[in-house]
Structures are given as C-alpha cells and as structure tokens.
Amino acid sequence: MNIFKKDSFILGGVLASIAPAIVYSILSALVKVLSEKYTQGIPLITEHNIILVSVFLNMLIFTTYIHKAPYDKTGRGVMLITFIYTGIYFIWRFQQFMD
C-alpha cells in the first residue's frame, strides 16, 4: 500500500471524497436491512445521521495524516474536502428546514 504513503494534496482529496461515499453506501444498506428485519421498514437511523457519520470518517483520516510529519499535504487535501462536504450538508439541511 505505498500509494497511501505519498504526501499529495490530490491523494488527500481522493481519499476524502471516496471514503464517505463507501461508508454511506454500507451504512444505508445495513440500516435498510436491519429496519426491514426489526422494525417493519421504519428506519432505525435517519438519512442525515448516516451522512454525518460518513463525513465524520474524514476526521479520522485527517487525524491519521496530519499527525505524521511528512504527510501534511495529504492532510490538507482531506481537510478541504471535509469542509466542502460539511458545507454541502449544512446547505442541504437548511433547505430541508425551509421547505
């Protein structure tokens, strides 16, 4: 896994973009299956909470890269994408409240 040992702003952006999408897909499928099994289709966790957990994963990735001395560019890439995702989330939630 030498690709994760590069100090690249692009690598940080790619990691921060892909990881939440994967976690969101897994959590959504898991919640759907468990909801069907245990609550007759009533969601156990709302969609916006799944999104928050998915974006929070980026903070774990960010912490991992920012604490390692030669990987500060990768950490900055993760931080930028996390801020963008968080901004999009807040805009989306604000629009839901306005409807």
pLDDT in tens, the chain (99 residues): 677 788 889 999 999 999 999 999 999 999 999 998 888 888 888 888 999 999 999 989 888 888 877 888 888 999 999 999 999 999 999 998 887
Cβ contact 65:78 at 8 Å: yes
d(Cα 75, Cα 4) in Å, to the nearest integer? 12
Tokens of 16: 């921060």
pLDDT at 72: 86
What are the structural domain ranges in the chain? Answer: 9-98
Farthest-apart Cα atoms in the chain, separation: 50
